[in-house]
Amino acid sequence: MVLVTGGAGFIGANFVLDWLALHDEPVVNLDKLTYAGNLETLASLQGDARHLFVQGDIGDSELVTRLLTDHRPRAVIHFAAESHVDRSIHGAEDFIQTNILGTFRLLEAVRAHWLGLPEAEKAAFRFLHVSTDEVYGSLSPDAPAFTESHAYEPNSPYSASKAASDHLVRAWHHTHGLPVLTTNCSNNYGPFHFPEKLIPLMIVNALAGKPLPVYGDGMQVRDWLYVKDHCSAIRRVLDAGTVGETYNVGGWNEKPNIEIVRTICALLDELRPRADGASYTTQISHVKDRPGHDRRYAIDARKLEAELGWKPAETFETGIRKTVQWYLDHADWVANVQSGAYRQWVQKQYAAE
């Protein structure tokens, strides 16, 4: 049994789906179901006894303690967070609340539980904290990619709150001995991505005939990883990572945003040509840049590759093609997110514990 937090979000849900597709070890899935949590993503697990969904807050110590006591997971895999940079610029309170205070409360509840475990269980227990490359700040064009020893220089309220959570996790290991692992991953893309993020937004807007808004000159460089490769990296770190260590996760796929948008347009031109025969690139529209927008992130994943033998299964070319095809095949999922109908899945599919 493992306890996953934030398992109704983009990466957490992909993780839970892959986990249960690969083996039978049950998952308790604790998610508050903010706007980013979508139970429709987990519809294929309806009636599956290996998946127990619990609607709740990671900051609810009583609930977390009850779940730990009742289910005795061998690991906690912590995805739950407020994750959207733009939202953090307009209001950072929820980010501080969940990413910092929530992680603190979760760590405390887990620590108290872990201390009471018999020695063998205690030694085998793991707390895996899922974090981002954005904690390292912005790179100049010719600087080497971020390694695990790069200084923390977060620039947005989101990355600052994630950096704080990374430090708390580190301290709970150094001070209290909690067996933690941290992963810092580059930008993810793939199925079930909420259409406020760059890649799904561009696909969905393109198909709707809307403008494709590109911040500034579009030359901000991000390093992209197919979400299922991120999930395989997390499983590998959970299985074989050294306690107290941090692992960078990335696919060596640095691309400027404008190139991503052009690639999506080219794939759509091929897979779902516009009725008027024009290219989707005609919908590209440059908009005012985001304040404090980091110019470049790039992840050096050599530690994970060399020490734990992980490598991604997808190249950017194969992953982005699968992603565009997924959005073409799942118009209902997108429509339910856009209309807000996905929220009804809370009532329809699962009852909170």
In the bound complex, what is the minimum distance in angstroms from residue 37's beta carbon to ligand NAD?
3
H or E stretch covering 158: helix 157-174
Rounded alpha-carbon distances, angstroms, from residue 63 to 74, 105, 339: 18, 11, 31
Asked if 161 is part of the footprint of ligand NAD (rule: CB under 6 A), the reply reads no
Residue 11 contacts ligand NAD per CB under 6 A: yes
Q: How far apart are CA 348 and CA 344, in angstroms?
A: 6
Q: How far is the CB of 10 from ligand NAD (least distance, A)?
A: 4
Residue 5 is a binding residue for ligand NAD (CB under 6 A): yes
What DSSP assignment string belongs to 41-53?
Answer: GGGGGTT-TTEEE
Beta bridge partners of 256: 221
| Binding segment (CB under 6 A) for ligand NAD, from list 68-76, 124-132, 211-219, 314-322 | 124-132
| Contact between residue 200 and residue 193 where contact means Cβ atoms under 8 Å apart | yes
Q: Residue 156 and residue 96: Cα distance in Å, rounded?
A: 12
When the beta carbons of 211 and 256 are compared against ligand NAD, the nearer one is 256
Contacts of 330 (CB under 8 A, 6+ apart): 191
Q: How far apart are CA 20 and CA 2, in angstroms?
A: 11
Rule CB under 6 A: choose which of 59, 190, 200, 241 binds ligand NAD.
Answer: 59
- When binding is defined by CB under 6 A, the residue of 33, 109, 168, 206 that contacts ligand NAD is 33
Which of the residues 305 through 324 are near ligand NAD (CB under 6 A)?
none
What's the half-sphere exposure (Cβ side, CA atoms, 13 Å) at 347?
A: 3
Q: Does 41 bind ligand NAD (CB under 6 A)?
A: no
Does the protein bind ligand NAD through residue 12 (CB under 6 A)?
yes
Q: How far is the CB of 5 from ligand NAD (least distance, A)?
A: 6
Give catalytic status of residue 158 as yes or no: yes
Which among 5, 169, 185, 168 has a CA at the least distance from the CA of 77?
A: 5
Instruction: Report the nearest approach of ligand NAD to the CB of residue 59 (Å).
Output: 6
Residue from 109, 185, 198, 265 binding ligand NAD (CB under 6 A): 185
How many CB atoms are located within 10 Å of the residue 44 CB? 11
Is 18 among the residues known to form the active site?
A: no
- Taking CB under 6 A as the criterion, the residue among 53, 79, 226, 252 binding ligand NAD is 79
Q: By CB under 6 A, what part of segment 83-122 binds ligand NAD?
A: 83, 98, 102
Tokens standing for residue 265: 């347009």
Tell which one of 54, 58, 67, 169 touches ligand NAD (CB under 6 A): 58
| Per CB under 6 A, 9 contacts ligand NAD | yes
- Interacting residue with ligand NAD among 28, 31, 52, 237 (CB under 6 A): 31
Binding mask 190-209 for ligand NAD (x = CB under 6 A): ----x---------------
Judged by DSSP in three states, 283 sits in helix
Q: Could you give the angle at which helices 257-271 and 198-207 cross, rounded to 10 degrees?
A: 40
Among 31, 40, 82, 134, the one annotated catalytic: 134
| DSSP result, 159-220 | HHHHHHHHHHHHHHHHTT---EEEEEE-EEESTT--TTSHHHHHHHHHHTT--EEEETTS--
Residue ranges in 222-251 that form contacts with ligand NAD under rule CB under 6 A: none
- Active-site pick, 40, 57, 82, 158: 158
With contacts defined by CB under 6 A, how many residues of the chain interact with ligand NAD? 32
Q: Give the active site residue among 40, 133, 166, 294.
A: 133
- Rounded Cα gap, residues 82 and 66, in angstroms: 24
Q: Which stretch binds ligand NAD (CB under 6 A): 29-37, 42-50, 319-327, 330-338?
A: 29-37
Is 133 known to be catalytic?
A: yes
With beta carbons less than 8 A apart as the criterion, state whether 258 and 218 touch.
yes
Q: Among all residues, which ones are annotated catalytic?
A: 133-134, 158
User: Which residues in this chain contact ligand NAD in the complex, by CB under 6 A?
Assistant: 5-6, 8-12, 30-34, 36-37, 57-59, 79-83, 98, 102, 130-132, 162, 185, 187-188, 194
